[in-house]
Amino acid sequence: MKLSIDDILSEWQADSAINETQISIELSRTPILHSKYLEVYLSAKRKLISATSSYNNLKFLRKKYFRGEMTREELLDRGWEQYQGLKMSQTEFNQMSDIDPVLNEEWVKVEYWKSLVEGITYIMKEIQNRGYTIKTMVEYNKLLMGG
């Protein structure tokens, strides 16, 4: 399965449906669904960790950049021009980092993976509750049939 929000939501829409006429099959699908989405969760979590690490490393480099502490080689490796402003304080850097397009590009990636991990966590909770949902459906059907 692709690790995109749209793909996962589409898959979950299909996987979350419960066929009331085949309860035993639906019960046996629960561990299969759990395994499927656990794999997706762990992959997304790895991507989140990697994106967070990249962001933190870039933030450190941007701090060096805005303080004028980067070597010529470091600037050339990244294709950055020498910073021409005044050396920034920590407070100034924090303000600048909120609007820095280079940092924001990495921050968006971190937030994307956070959203994906949160969504998959929600799906995993729904899978965990699937047995209760099926039980409630069976009891409701019994009640409708007068049993």
The two three-digit tokens of residue 110, written as one number: 């971190």
Q: Which amino acid is at 79?
A: G
| Residue 13 φ then ψ, to 5° | -60, -45
Residue 24 within a domain: no
Residue 76 in any domain: the answer is yes
pLDDT at 86: 87
pLDDT at 147: 62
Indicate whether 126 belongs to any domain.
yes
Residues of the chain with pLDDT > 90, as a percent, come to 71
User: Residue 12 falls within a domain, yes or no?
Assistant: no
CB contact at 8 A, 55 and 102: no
Q: What is the domain count for the chain?
A: 1
Q: What is the pLDDT of residues 12-66, one digit of tens each?
A: 999 999 888 888 898 899 999 999 999 999 999 999 999 999 999 999 999 999 9
pLDDT of residue 20: 85
Would you state the structure tokens that stand for residue 54, as one six-digit string? Answer: 């990249």
111 domain residue, yes or no: yes
For 67-95, b/e burial (b = at least 16 CB within 10 A) is beebeeeeeeeeeeeebeeeebeeeebee
Q: Which domain holds residue 56?
A: 31-144
Instruction: Report the C-alpha gap between 75 and 84 in whole angstroms.
Output: 13
Note the residue count of the chain.
147
Residue 57 resides in a domain: yes
Helix (H) or strand (E) holding 97: helix 90-99
CA–CA dist 123, 12 (Å, integer): 8
